[in-house]
Amino acid sequence: MFGMCFVAGTSIQTPAGIRNIEDIQVGDAVYSAQPGTNQLTQKPLVRVFHNSDRPIIRVTISDRDRRSQVFGVTPEHPFWVIGKGWIPAHQLRNGDALQGIDQEGWHVIAVVDSGERADTFNFEVQELHN
């Protein structure tokens, strides 16, 4: 999990509501994708990762209603691309289809090397490790 992270301030949809990634702690429940089916389940966190001074890229996604979101992530952070599986952020391409937590279809519309460095966060869930 080293290096596969989101920047502080990233909103995470949890069973308890939306929280910033840096506020989520071991034992908190989050949504996790089942390998092979990508079905969402609730799992508790068993480990939290905080890494300093990591390179950041910006991934912009949009849904069919043209709502967009921008994520600051490390280049290695994996995204589930429909029909392709897990793809590192730096290999995402415009038009790649992502499955969102809301089960809505999202598409990549931009991947940009920001030139920034930042502290990043991620976590490991019980059993699935994703």
Q: What is the pTM of this model?
A: 0.83
* Alpha-carbon span 57 to 117, nearest angstrom: 9
The enclosing domain of 71 has a CATH number of 2.170.16.10
Top pLDDT among 21 and 99 is at 21
Q: Which two tokens stand for residue 12?
A: 């995470």
Query: For residue 22, what are the domain limits?
Result: 6-125
Residue 15 lies in a domain: yes
* Alpha-carbon span 98 to 81, nearest angstrom: 5
Number of domains in the chain: 1
Q: Is the pLDDT of residue 2 over 80?
A: no
Please tell me the number of Cα atoms within 13 Å of 64 on its side-chain side.
Answer: 6
Average pLDDT estimate for 104-111: 90
What was the pLDDT predicted at 1? 47
Residue 43 lies in a domain: yes
Residue 130 lies in a domain: no
Residue 111 lies in a domain: yes
Residue 1 lies in a domain: no
Residue 13 lies in a domain: yes
What are 45's strand-pairing partners?
125
Q: Count other C-beta atoms under 10 Å from residue 98's C-beta.
A: 18
Residue 57 lies in a domain: yes
